[in-house]
Chains A and B, each alone.
Chain A
């Protein structure tokens, strides 16, 4: 309908068709072209590195796995030389940095990507005043805000999810040889659903605070601080309690066991001695045991003298259960934050 006849038309009684999501999606993508390119480049660079090192590492691991008999010296040497991929010294690109370094770098990626993509979405509109344009178009501010927030959220989650799959393939040999457990904080947040879920959380938090503060840089700063605090709190205090830990007899630690939360000793009289107080027992052991280079010497001495060794573990078999729990609550928080941002847009005036 085009108004050409009367100065003002009577209000249309017919139900108005809203602007389609497809057209709103075009608007969102056109406006975020820069961010899409930036994030693609960053992830692309990492992906190329992971691809190159992944091929090298998977081949090296295949050689170890195929080596017979496993006890042979050459097999032993192969396995030992594999360690350089973890500790460093083998990377053609990140010279000196092994998988350990790469993993720690990737730890920062969710919050950087999320803050970079999320904070400017609404904040930039406020800073430049363009929200006065965007919110007075026929589509209306609610639809505009939903498109502006949800489409980048979905894209970012999908891309980081795909990136995790590549990282897992790159990382698999270290899990297979028992270098590290996928339950440990270092690996857990980079694998499975967690990496994408944490990126989504950072994005949602940045978008929400950008809407709240109406400023890009403060929104990014607050996002980074809150993210770091929450990520550390989750790894140290929240994640260990997702399920009741398993109490096991024996200190069969090692990465294959999963995530050892604590260990203790029970004396013959039933007294429990925490790992911090174990030194009090050590003084009773003969010097040959106390000073032995074999780490198991003292443990064996304890067992011989009627002590029992205990540990509290989140076993590796719980990996996917834990991933689902973590992804679930992060998803709930993220969706709430995005809904909160839409609510702020609806509520806030100019």
Chain B
């Protein structure tokens, strides 16, 4: 089953196409790295997959055919937008309670245990947390929803190196522990290459390459970084590899 599947997906903002003719089939069970320079259309693709934005053209379904943004899809996808937007004026405990009341499924113990581990006090205001703590709180809320798919848009962009390390470790641990699929976007592949098992390279609104990391390595005989770099530079003489699940 594919966690995200799109056909001829396109999004235009005024005159500019943010994403064009995007046909993808991301199989489940992976940590997916969505890589591309700023403005490549990563956020556009992800916000359409989670139902925040409507496509101009084409369609996108999630979790084996659910329309993006449908109640069934919202219930089982947890999305953390760039900069992890949360209500800054609320204490952490109230932020948890709020998220709990916005979802049918919620694992309060899991959330509290994680925050205790991370030493994030429940009485602290969200706005007073450090960038790393805030990202971890957003991840905690996302995981407490017990999603089938976790979507993180540029989760590392605003974090310092130590917080990045910790955050990625949390994501990998959660993906294994909960057996969930994860899609992360970044403009820096180096952050994701050690953990990703599926790679999508996006430039100028178009998918350049998509496939499992092992297939890509086998097919191209080059390092992941080099494969991505060649596609990012648009120098690719490589054939495009579609995600064969």
Contact = CB atoms under 8 A, between A and B. Distances in A.
Interface of A: 1-12, 16-19, 23-24, 26-27, 30-31, 34, 128-140, 144, 349-350
Interface residues of B, number: 50
Interface string B178-213: 111100000000000000000000000000000000
Given A137-B102, A349-B52, 19 more contacts: A4-B178, A7-B180, A8-B149, A11-B63, A16-B71, A16-B75, A17-B104, A23-B102, A30-B94, A129-B81, A129-B83, A133-B86, A135-B52, A136-B50, A137-B99, A138-B102, A138-B145, A144-B102, A349-B53
Interface string B53-79: 110000000011110000110111111
Contact of B146 (A3, A134, A135): A3
A14 B1 CA distance: 19
B129 interface: no
B41 interface: no
Contacts of A133: 81, 85-87, 138
28 contacts: A1-B105, A2-B105, A3-B148, A3-B180, A5-B179, A6-B28, A7-B29, A7-B179, A7-B180, A8-B29, A8-B148, A9-B63, A11-B72, A19-B103, A27-B101, A31-B90, A128-B85, A130-B86, A132-B79, A133-B85, A133-B138, A136-B77, A136-B78, A136-B81, A138-B71, A140-B74, A349-B52, A349-B54
A3 B102 contact: no
B77 to A, nearest CB: 7
A11 B65 contact: yes
Contact of A136 (B79, B146, B179, B180): B79
Nearest to B107: A2
B97 interface: yes
B181 A7 contact: yes
B98 interface: yes
Contacts of B78: 136
B105 A8 contact: no
Contact of B85 (A4, A19, A132, A139): A132
Contacts, number: 128
Lowest 10 CB-CB distances: which A-B pairs, in order?
Answer: A8-B28, A7-B29, A349-B53, A132-B81, A137-B102, A138-B103, A23-B101, A350-B52, A129-B85, A136-B79
A8 B72 contact: no
Contacts of A2: 105, 107, 146
Given A4-B179, A129-B81, A138-B74, A30 B64 contact: no
Interface of B: 1, 3, 28-29, 47, 50-54, 63-66, 71-72, 74-79, 81, 83, 85-90, 94, 97-99, 101-105, 107, 138, 145-149, 178-181
Contacts of A4: 178-179
Contacts of B1: 8, 10
A7 B88 CA distance: 33
Contacts of A34: 89
A350 B3 CA distance: 21
Nearest to B13: A349
Contacts of B105: 1-2, 138
A12 B72 contact: yes
